[in-house]
């Protein structure tokens, strides 16, 4: 009976073990106008071993902006896990300049540090959980 209970508990825990530590909804840093994006992070649709992030909402100081033209667009693509709290070899799309950069991510006590680089020039933000 004890083996049956342990097997049942293991089966319940298995779906949680598949979720990555960065999975969920994250808020980008606010821009100069106080607007920010909410990004849903999880496994990539075409390669679940990699991590991707999709723009879910745009929020301005006045409230949500449902007409934001990039809702549903991938902002983070193809991040490869490097242990439990770091990702690399992916890309990030920057809506403010419509460019895609090589990217890394790392979970820190402050949040999710997302960095995009071109050659040696890098720009980083610390995103916070929205949930």
Instruction: Enumerate the domain spans of the chain.
Output: 20-129
Q: Is the pTM of this model over 0.85?
A: no
In whole angstroms, give the CA distance from residue 32 to residue 58.
14
| Domain 20-129 annotated CATH 3.40.50.720 | no
Q: What is the pLDDT of residues 36-74, one digit of tens each?
A: 999 999 999 999 999 999 999 999 999 999 999 999 999
């Amino acid at each position: 009976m004890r083996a049956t209970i342990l097997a049942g508990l293991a089966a319940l825990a298995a779906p949680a073990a598949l979720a990555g530590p960065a999975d969920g909804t994250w808020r980008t840093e606010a821009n100069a106008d106080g607007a920010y994006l909410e990004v849903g992070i999880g496994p990539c649709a075409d390669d679940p071993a990699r991590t991707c992030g999709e723009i879910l909402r745009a929020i301005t100081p006045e409230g949500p902006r449902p007409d934001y033209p990039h809702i549903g667009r991938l902002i983070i693509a193809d991040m490869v896990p490097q242990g439990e709290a770091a990702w690399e070899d992916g890309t990030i799309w920057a809506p403010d300049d419509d460019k895609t950069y090589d990217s890394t991510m790392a979970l820190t006590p402050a949040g999710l540090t997302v960095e995009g680089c071109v050659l040696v020039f890098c720009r980083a933000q610390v995103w916070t959980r929205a949930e």
